[in-house]
Chain A
Amino acid sequence: MLSIKNLSAAINGKTILKGLNLEVKEGEVHAIMGPNGSGKSTLASVIAGRETFEVTEGEVTYLGSNLLDMPAETRAREGIFMGFQYPVEIPGVSIANFMRTAINEKRKYLGLEPMTGAEFLKLMEEKKKMVDIQSKLTNRSVNEGFSGGEKKKNEIFQMALLEPKLSILDETDSGLDIDALKVVANGINLLRRKDNATVVITHYQRLLDFIIPDFVHVLFDGRIIRSGGKELAIELEEKGYDWVKKEK
């Protein structure tokens, strides 16, 4: 589904990713771990198409197409979803309006009829239950005045509505207490299917107690320096990042 080969990327002339390789197939869950500043969030932003990052080398193929050629909104419509580490507030724009616009833009792109108000409301109710989101929340402006937990739940709620093929979740566990973490993890697990894939980016192993990854990768200094199964995460937790750094 996603194939990253020798990817290098820079921001303001500073190289962050330095020849990164990653293969993600349908039905898989990958966890990318690494210390602060290793390039985890940069990787997420590059896949989502943030223009502040400049791809200096390498290629990224998504469902057989060159991903790097597509603008951010096309990537989204092709099924890439990014769960933001710091979801931005958009005052005055309700989540309901925001999501309905997003869904209909995607449907238009796919040549489908726009969803009617009633259909959308029904869909929203259904997904709300899935991520245990309060009814009132969807009438509020996007992320405005949300607590850390609400913001992250809202990300998962949007993911549920947009039904992506590939989800990149950037530090979705940061700033969550254990209850919120369970809700978020549960949502992600419910959305897991044979035909989609998830990349979970995290600093701590904690989240991986709830979302069992098929693969764990350690990102350090812009490169994946070690890959393995879920046991790698446990080993990392015990020995710390210094361990892999030394091994390198």
Chain B
Amino acid sequence: MENNSDKILEEVTGSDYKYGFYTDIEMDQAPKGLSEDTVRFISAKKNEPEFMLEFRLKAFRHWQTLGEPDWAHVNYPPIDYQDIIYYSAPKKKATYESMDEVDPELLETFEKLGIPLEEQKMLAGVAVDAVMDSVSVGSTFKKTLAEQGIIFCSFSEALQKHPELIKKYMGTVVPYTDNFFAALNSAVFSDGSFAYIPKGVKCPLELSTYFRINAANTGQFERTLIVAEEGSYVSYMEGCTAPIRDENQLHAAIVEIIAHKDAEVKYSTVQNWWPGDKEGKGGVYNFVTKRGICEGDRSKISWTQVETGSAITWKYPSLVLKGDYSSGEFYSVAVTNNYQQADTGTKMIHLGRNTKSTIISKGISAGHSNNSYRGLVKATRRAENARNFSQCDSLLLGDQCGAHTFPYLDVGNRSTIVEHEATTSKISEDQLFYCLQRGIDMEGAIGLIVNGYAKEVLSKLPMEFAVEAQKLLSISLEGSVG
């Protein structure tokens, strides 16, 4: 019987999803459902300081007063928040001195995912903090980082070792009152990453975390906090793939970034969670709140994202430009195929003087999908000489999909200049024919043209991410035209 259903699953999904498999590792799970008890269970399980439990409970009580947001251009059946397991962790305790101690099956999973935790990463200059079902299981290069005073660890570990830093910064950029999903995350988040770059330090490695959803019916609620002190620099990479699952999986993460005076943070994401099958069945619900604040003068934060996965994406990596002369960037490529829905974009809130922001968004829709850009650019009265440029283009591959652009521009002073441009068009037949005439087949031609179209964004990614992202774009669009 079980064999049979596996077969069906395999047939339905085919080999389209390269990372479609899941690992049998014993799970330490919270009982299904959400109540104060669940929140207390999670906090106790993680042996958290008292302030953390209080924060969670406040968030939970606030969450109960909220309704799910309904303004995004997405549709999905109602989520039963009582039918979700809010905590699961690999059972073996996850503190290892060396890689040899890590559960071999887990390592194998990472291997299949193409995430070598060992030498390859060292050669590539990357320290990896791998998160599997919300709990950090291994960290490398901590020593290299520690020598410079950089803290890069799981959120839980940070709570034990650096509670004062967490207490100082957590919830300052995304308060638990921010929105429905942020409140939910604040109540039940399981784990995530914490990075702290001390004053004047340029982080020598690309910090990288791979997320992965594994257990069935387990919501994933990470929380990431990055603090860059005065004059520091860090480049942080987040990438994720999820195994095929027949039921929808909820993901509601929070990322908070604080950049002090003259600090610079680059945050790059490649998101390739399971998008559901060709009929739109299954797939991850990705409801994420990401926000950074350019707290100090001349600070800079940039978001770069390549979104190819998830059944539903609801995500607006935003920036509050508070310091004078601070600047923000948002570069995004979002691909939707089959029945995927994406409502993604950014918010640039200009508070400081002479602040600058750039938005480049490239949407690509295929199949029956819907792809929306939603972005706010706001300049307050105080934000003299604020400057924004936005370019949001949509490319349509097929006549069953939708491409939408919803910019909001609010300007409240006379010296601000805000420019928004957008175009929507289908992939050009002239371009396709030109490629065909040179002997490149249809899929190759689409791959080339789409990658060219997205190049401006892809070029902002760290090198090794860029290569992966290019492949992803082509893979995601396979079979979309022909």
Q: Which of the residues A73, A81, A98, A109 comes within 8 Å of B448, measured between beta carbons?
A: A98
Cα distance A109–B433 when bound, in Å? 18
Cα distance A73–B454 when bound, in Å? 24
Q: Are B433 and A101 in contact (CB under 8 A)?
A: no
Q: Which of B38-46, B47-55, B314-322, B439-447 lies at the binding interface?
A: B439-447
Whether A92 touches B438, Cβ cut-off 8 Å, given contacts A52-B429, A72-B433, A101-B448, is no
Instruction: Kindly state the interface size class of chain B when it binds its partner.
Output: 20 to 34
Whether A88 touches B436, Cβ cut-off 8 Å, given contacts A93-B448, A98-B448, A105-B444, is no
Decide yes or no whether B35 CB sits under 8 A from chain A.
no
Decide yes or no whether A175 CB sits under 8 A from chain B.
no
- Chain A residues, CB < 8 A from B449: 90, 93
Decide yes or no whether A84 CB sits under 8 A from chain B.
yes
Q: Are A77 and B439 in contact (CB under 8 A)?
A: yes
Q: Are B430 and A76 in contact (CB under 8 A)?
A: no
Decide yes or no whether A141 CB sits under 8 A from chain B.
yes
Decide yes or no whether B426 CB sits under 8 A from chain A.
no
Q: Are A158 and B438 in contact (CB under 8 A)?
A: yes
**Cβ of A98 to closest chain B Cβ, rounded Å:** 7
Cα distance A48–B435 when bound, in Å? 12
**Cβ of A63 to closest chain B Cβ, rounded Å:** 16
- Chain A residues, CB < 8 A from B437: 48-49, 72-73, 75-76, 81-82, 84
Decide yes or no whether B456 CB sits under 8 A from chain A.
yes
Closest to B447 in A: A101
Instruction: Kindly state the interface size class of chain A when it binds its partner.
Output: 20 to 34
Closest to A93 in B: B452
Contact digits for A60-81, partner B, Cβ 8 Å, 1 yes 0 no: 0000000000011101110001
- Chain A residues, CB < 8 A from B415: none
Q: Are A98 and B438 in contact (CB under 8 A)?
A: yes
- Chain A residues, CB < 8 A from B434: 84, 87-88, 90, 142
**Cβ of A202 to closest chain B Cβ, rounded Å:** 19
Closest to B436 in A: A72
Q: Which of the residues B439, B441, B456 comes within 8 Å of A92, measured between beta carbons?
A: B456
Decide yes or no whether A165 CB sits under 8 A from chain B.
no
Q: Which of the residues A77, A84, A88, A93 comes within 8 Å of B451, measured between beta carbons?
A: A93
Which residue, A52, A75, A105, A141, has most C-beta atoms of chain B within 10 A?
A: A105
Q: Are A102 and B439 in contact (CB under 8 A)?
A: yes
**Cβ of B466 to closest chain A Cβ, rounded Å:** 13
Cα distance A102–B448 when bound, in Å? 11
- Chain A residues, CB < 8 A from B436: 49, 71-73, 76
Closest to A80 in B: B437
Whether A101 touches B452, Cβ cut-off 8 Å, given contacts A90-B431, A162-B438, A162-B439, is no
Closest to B452 in A: A92
Q: Are A88 and B439 in contact (CB under 8 A)?
A: no
Q: Which of the residues A52, A92, A101 comes within 8 Å of B453, measured between beta carbons?
A: A92
**Cβ of B451 to closest chain A Cβ, rounded Å:** 7
Decide yes or no whether A217 CB sits under 8 A from chain B.
no
Decide yes or no whether B148 CB sits under 8 A from chain A.
no
Q: Which of the residues B430, B440, B453, B454 comes within 8 Å of A105, measured between beta carbons?
A: B440
Decide yes or no whether A91 CB sits under 8 A from chain B.
yes
Decide yes or no whether A106 CB sits under 8 A from chain B.
yes
Cα distance A171–B438 when bound, in Å? 18
Q: Are B452 and A91 in contact (CB under 8 A)?
A: yes
Which residue, B437, B441, B448, B455, has most C-beta atoms of chain A within 10 A?
A: B437
- Chain B residues, CB < 8 A from A73: 435-437, 439-442
Which residue, B436, B438, B452, has most C-beta atoms of chain A within 10 A?
A: B438
The 9 closest A-B pairs by CB, nearest first: A92-B452, A92-B455, A93-B452, A76-B439, A72-B436, A102-B438, A88-B430, A77-B439, A73-B436
18 A-B residue contacts at CB 8 Å?
A49-B436, A71-B436, A72-B433, A73-B435, A73-B442, A75-B437, A76-B437, A76-B439, A84-B434, A90-B431, A90-B448, A91-B452, A92-B455, A105-B439, A105-B444, A109-B439, A158-B438, A162-B439
Given A72-B433, A88-B428, 15 more pairs with CB closer than 8 A: A50-B433, A52-B429, A73-B435, A75-B437, A88-B430, A90-B434, A90-B448, A90-B449, A91-B455, A92-B452, A92-B456, A93-B451, A97-B448, A101-B440, A142-B434
